[in-house]
């Protein structure tokens, strides 16, 4: 990968209980239904990012993007991070590709045998969830700022940020496989040796943090669906000696 390339990143957020819109055959309208009682199951949903963005905007009395540019990015020393859509031509911004195709009518995904360029539009109202473009250098600065306390006022806040949410039965749930839990926007890998938290972006980028081992792995690609979090954990193994 060419040094300095700006790669698209996005981060997921947990929703322990989730609402969906389902068509009502009799009334021919959408009714809001609860998929599960509070705290019963893990179900990924991006709505909470919208709510967090609204809270930040109300508290700071400015748009979310402006708050990032004026407050968080300078505090972290980030100079090459911005929001954009895939059709915008910006110096050093890498396009994204995928072998997967999503049907615009049904939402069903299928794998093809050829690459296609992804065309994505990230609404401003959902920028807390997706649409940020960044570099490995900027993300490294952000992780350092987060761990050193430049972004959080209280020392215990980072522990709360990375603590997986427990369901009513006392267990944690996540995306499956090695990801056994979900914290405040961070999938967690709870294991006796080398536990980790990660930020996964669009199936193409991953930031893996190993808090007990003082190690972070940043892996940026522009191939959506390549599971970079799995590759990043393998890379970490070379440094951790496992």
Is residue 71 situated within a structural domain? Answer: yes
**CA-closest candidate to residue 79, choices 68, 64, 90:** 68
Number of H helices, E strands in the chain: 6, 13
Its pTM stands at 0.80
In angstroms, rounded to a whole number, what is the distance separating the alpha carbons of residues 38 and 20?
14
Provide the pLDDT confidence category of residue 32 given band limits of 50, 70 and 90. Answer: low
Question: To 5 degrees, how large is the angle CA 183–CA 80–CA 202?
Answer: 40
Is residue 26 situated within a structural domain? Answer: no
In angstroms, rounded to a whole number, what is the distance separating the alpha carbons of residues 6 and 205?
12
Is residue 215 situated within a structural domain? Answer: yes
Is residue 1 situated within a structural domain? Answer: no
Total structural domains within the chain: 1
pLDDT at 35: 77
Is residue 2 situated within a structural domain? Answer: no
- Assess contact for 128 and 53: CB atoms under 8 A: yes
Is residue 93 situated within a structural domain? Answer: yes
pLDDT at 24: 41
CATH number of the domain within which 73 lies:
3.40.710.10
Q: Is the pLDDT of residue 2 over 60?
A: no
In angstroms, rounded to a whole number, what is the distance separating the alpha carbons of residues 208 and 216?
5
pLDDT at 95: 86
Q: Domain range holding 169?
A: 7-21+31-240
In angstroms, rounded to a whole number, what is the distance separating the alpha carbons of residues 10 and 200?
7
Mean pLDDT of the region 208-214: 93
| Average of per-residue pLDDT values in the chain | 82
């Amino acid at each position: 990968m060419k040094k300095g390339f700006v790669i698209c990143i996005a981060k997921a957020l947990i929703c322990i209980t989730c609402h969906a819109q389902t068509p009502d055959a009799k009334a021919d309208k959408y009714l809001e239904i609860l998929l599960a009682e509070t705290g019963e199951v893990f179900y990924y949903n991006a709505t909470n990012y919208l709510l967090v963005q609204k809270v930040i905007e109300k508290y700071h009395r400015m748009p979310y993007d402006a708050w990032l540019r004026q407050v968080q990015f300078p505090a972290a020393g980030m100079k090459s991070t911005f929001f954009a859509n895939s059709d915008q031509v910006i110096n050093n911004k890498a396009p994204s590709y995928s072998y997967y195709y999503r049907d615009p009518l049904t939402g069903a995904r299928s794998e093809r045998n050829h690459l296609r360029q992804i065309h994505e539009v990230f609404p401003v109202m959902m920028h807390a969830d997706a649409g940020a473009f960044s570099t490995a250098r900027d993300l490294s600065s952000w992780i350092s700022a987060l761990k050193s306390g430049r972004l959080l006022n209280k020392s215990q806040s980072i522990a709360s940020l990375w603590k997986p949410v427990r369901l009513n039965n006392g267990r944690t749930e996540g995306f499956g496989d090695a990801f056994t839990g979900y914290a405040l926007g961070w999938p967690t890998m709870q294991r006796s040796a080398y536990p980790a938290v990660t930020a996964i972006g669009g199936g193409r980028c991953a930031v893996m943090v190993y808090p007990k081992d003082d190690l972070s792995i940043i892996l940026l690609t522009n191939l959506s669906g390549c599971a970079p979090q799995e590759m990043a954990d393998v890379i970490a193994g070379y440094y951790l000696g496992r």
